[in-house]
Structure 1
Amino acid sequence: MTGLDIEITPEARDWVTRLGGSMMIRGSTRHGCCGGSASVPVADPGEPGDPAGYVSEIKEGIRVYVADDLRIEQPLTVRLEGFLGFRRLFVDGLEMAAGKSGQGESDV
């Protein structure tokens, strides 16, 4: 993962620092209302329970754990959003494939 292009916004960096100084980026399956599913990237503060499936690197003073199964081919931005004390990290710039193969493709 050396040299991975990850930008952490100042707000996200400060928040993660207050929560221990580490975060993980992984895929999370989301199910649609019509039976489809998609794996979307999520970022969580903290360290993984089992770091064996992750690689890690220090970015902007934060220990970033990235799941081995994520294919990262473009720059990422981790940002913080929320209001009234509720905060969440978001990952921008990483697209992941839908869970059902062939959806939207023609067999012609």
Structure 2
Amino acid sequence: MTGLDIEITPEARDWVARQGGSMMLRASTRHGCCGGSASVPVADLGEPEDPTGYVSETREGIRVHVADDLRIEHPLTVRLEGFLGFRRLFVDGVELAAG
């Protein structure tokens, strides 16, 4: 993963650190209501159950695991979203890939 342009916002970094200090970036297929699909990048807390198929490194004190099948062609930013105590990670900067 070295050389990939991944930014973790300070809010996301602090939240991930409080939740155990690691996260995964992977592709998730979303299906449209009228057919078709798109591969959408997602960020999840924690370590992969099976590290095979992931490349890992530490960024800004956070252990980041990137799935091999996630095509990263543009810089991306992981940020924190949510309200009223409900939080989730959100990935900006990766274009959708039609399935």
Which bin holds the TM-score, normalised by the shorter protein? over 0.9
Question: Which contiguous aligned blocks of 4+ residues in structure 1 show a shift greater than 3 angstroms?
Answer: none
TM-score (norm 2): 0.96
Aligned to 1:41: 41
Aligned to 1:71: 71
CA displacement, residues 50-105 of structure 1 (integer Å, 9 cap, x when unaligned): 01010011111100000001121221100000001111101111113111xxxxxx
What residue identity is the alignment partner of 2:40? V
Measure the CA separation in 1 of the matches of 2:63 and 2:3.
Answer: 14
Higher radius of gyration, 1 or 2 = 1
Computed over aligned residues only, the root mean square deviation of the Cα atoms, in angstroms, reads 0.8
Aligned to 2:94: 94
- What percentage of residue pairs aligned between the two structures are identical? 87
Aligned to 2:16: 16
Aligned to 1:84: 84
Which structure shows the bigger proportion of residues in strand conformation? 2
Q: Structure 2: which 5+ residue stretches go unaligned? A: none
User: How many residues end up aligned between the 2 structures?
Assistant: 99
Cα displacement (A) at 1:4 = 1.5
Aligned to 1:6: 6
